[in-house]
């Protein structure tokens, strides 16, 4: 049942995190009522403090591994630590967050008949043997390694989404997000873009894991949020999974060189052991997103990096 307002009521789990805070901001600016639920494991109130005065924004401290009873029209399920350092800190809780979190949010969606979007990941492809990765590829994932709590948790969440869709006719949307970067990334979360920028700005050595020949494709946060919202608003028969990412692929060494050049840093490169199961290459095929969402990323790596560098240079950690 809708309230007197014509505004859509939208729940964003993990809304105080990096991607979630940008999503809350966009949804509010487009005239929605936004409910942000977060347990602040990796997110922070600082990311959404500027939204708190808005009467159409509401924040609740909630862990998605427990049921949540709210009345909403749409759910973006983003709650889950995303960087290897964070998701490996308490791997059992990581799996619970993906699996129990999905069950709870799908149960909520079923009760209130809400449309629900899952923030899945390119990690479902593991160390891919198909390159670039298309949605039809089933992946090459180690089920018992140190990344498995995240990868398999997200794979199981996808399974649950599709079973709720088939069994209960739930309206679902599954986005497979590739490496995304930008302002409000946690400065110490160990992800490569934040690590390199912080190291370069502080004149510390840039830590290259392995030989730096592994590749990633980096998407700027603004593009990604646009893709997520297009997916949520897509035709009913579009369930995904849909890859969302920037297909421009770089080696980690190339990224380090770019960051050094753009910051004018004197940092040197140091080589560290490659973490186990670290994928050797990753690049999204985004033909499906182009076709069904009319979406294509627009921000070039240099432009996005300039904004991320400005954020991390900010005296307060750079509230954006």
Q: Which of 86, 173, 176, 191 binds ligand UDP (CB under 6 A)?
A: 191
Q: Interface with ligand NAD includes 79 (CB under 6 A)?
A: yes
Q: Which of 63, 135, 222, 226 binds ligand NAD (CB under 6 A)?
A: 63
199 and 267 in contact (C-beta within 8 Å)? yes
Phi, then psi, of 129 in degrees rounded to 5: -100, -5
User: What residues form DSSP beta bridges with 61?
Assistant: 38
Q: Interface with ligand UDP includes 216 (CB under 6 A)?
A: yes
The closest alpha carbon to 219, from 244, 199, 201, belongs to 244
CB of 191 to ligand UDP, least distance (A): 4
User: What is the distance between the alpha carbons of residues 228 and 219, in angstroms, rounded to a whole number?
Assistant: 13
Is 150 in the active site? Answer: yes
Residue 207 interacts, among ligand NAD, ligand UDP, none and using kind-specific CB cut-offs from 5 to 8 Å, with ligand UDP
Q: Interface with ligand UDP includes 278 (CB under 6 A)?
A: yes
For residue 241, give both structure tokens: 């999974």
Strands 57-61, 33-38: pairing kind = parallel
Q: Which of 14, 15, 17, 84 binds ligand UDP (CB under 6 A)?
A: 84
43 and 59 in contact (C-beta within 8 Å)? no
Which of 150, 164, 220, 311 is the catalytic position?
150
Q: Interface with ligand NAD includes 180 (CB under 6 A)?
A: yes
Q: Interface with ligand UDP includes 208 (CB under 6 A)?
A: yes
Burial letters 207-232, b for 16+ CB under 10 A, else e: bbeeebebbbbbbbbbbbbbbbbbbb
269 and 210 in contact (C-beta within 8 Å)? no
Strands 180-181, 74-77: pairing kind = unpaired
Q: Interface with ligand UDP includes 195 (CB under 6 A)?
A: yes
Q: Which of 32, 104, 118, 179 binds ligand UDP (CB under 6 A)?
A: 179
Q: Which of 39, 199, 246, 283 binds ligand NAD (CB under 6 A)?
A: 39
User: What is the distance between the alpha carbons of residues 219 and 234, in angstroms, rounded to a whole number?
Assistant: 21
Q: Interface with ligand NAD includes 229 (CB under 6 A)?
A: no
Residue 157 interacts, among ligand UDP, ligand NAD, none and using kind-specific CB cut-offs from 5 to 8 Å, with none
Spatial neighbors of 287 by CB under 8 A, at least 6 apart, are: 134
> Which positions from 6 through 35 interact with ligand NAD, judged by CB under 6 A?
13-14, 16-20
The closest alpha carbon to 182, from 6, 25, 309, belongs to 309
- The site for ligand NAD, by CB under 6 A, has a size of 29
Q: Measured from the CB atom, is 39 or 83 closer to ligand UDP? A: 83
CB of 213 to ligand NAD, least distance (A): 21
Count of C-beta atoms within a 10 Å radius of residue 254: 15
Residue 19 interacts, among ligand UDP, ligand NAD, none and using kind-specific CB cut-offs from 5 to 8 Å, with ligand NAD
Q: Interface with ligand NAD includes 41 (CB under 6 A)?
A: yes
Residue 246 interacts, among ligand UDP, ligand NAD, none and using kind-specific CB cut-offs from 5 to 8 Å, with none
208 and 275 in contact (C-beta within 8 Å)? no
Q: Which of 78, 149, 192, 260 binds ligand UDP (CB under 6 A)?
A: 192
User: What is the distance between the alpha carbons of residues 280 and 261, in angstroms, rounded to a whole number?
Assistant: 25
H helices of 145-201, in order, are: 148-168, 192-201
Residues lying near ligand UDP in the complex (CB under 6 A): 83-84, 179, 190-192, 195, 207-209, 214, 216, 252, 275, 278
Residues lying near ligand NAD in the complex (CB under 6 A): 13-14, 16-20, 38-43, 63-65, 78-82, 97, 101, 119, 121, 177, 179-180, 186
Catalytic residue IDs:
150
């Amino acid at each position: 049942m809708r309230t007197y307002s014509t505004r859509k009521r939208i729940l964003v789990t993990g809304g105080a995190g990096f991607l979630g805070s940008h999503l809350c901001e966009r949804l509010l600016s487009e005239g929605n009522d936004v409910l942000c639920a977060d347990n602040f494991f990796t997110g922070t109130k600082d990311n959404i403090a500027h939204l708190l005065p808005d009467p159409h924004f509401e924040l609740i401290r909630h862990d998605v591994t427990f049921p949540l009873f709210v009345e909403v029209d749409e759910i973006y399920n983003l709650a889950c630590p995303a960087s290897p350092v964070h998701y490996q800190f308490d791997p059992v809780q990581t799996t619970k967050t993906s699996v129990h979190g999905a069950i709870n949010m799908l149960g909520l969606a079923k009760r209130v008949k809400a449309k629900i979007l899952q923030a899945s990941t390119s990690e479902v492809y593991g160390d891919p043997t198909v390159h670039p990765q298309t949605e039809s590829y089933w992946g090459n994932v180690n089920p018992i390694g140190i990344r498995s709590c995240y990868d398999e948790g997200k794979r199981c969440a996808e399974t649950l989404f599709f079973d709720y869709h088939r069994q209960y006719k739930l309206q679902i949307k599954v986005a497979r997000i590739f490496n995304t970067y930008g302002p409000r990334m946690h400065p110490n979360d160990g992800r490569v873009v934040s690590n390199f920028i912080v190291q370069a700005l502080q004149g510390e050595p840039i830590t290259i894991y392995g030989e730096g020949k592994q590749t990633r494709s980096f998407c700027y946060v603004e593009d990604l949020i646009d893709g997520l919202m297009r997916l949520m608003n897509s035709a009913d028969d579009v369930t995904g999974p849909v890859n969302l990412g920037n297909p421009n692929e770089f080696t980690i060494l190339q990224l380090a060189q770019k960051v050094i050049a753009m910051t004018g840093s004197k940092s040197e490169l140091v080589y560290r052991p490659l973490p186990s199961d670290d994928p050797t290459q990753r690049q999204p095929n985004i033909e499906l997103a182009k076709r069904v969402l009319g979406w294509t990323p627009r921000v070039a790596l240099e432009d996005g990096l300039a904004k991320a560098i400005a954020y991390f240079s900010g005296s307060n950690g750079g509230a954006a």
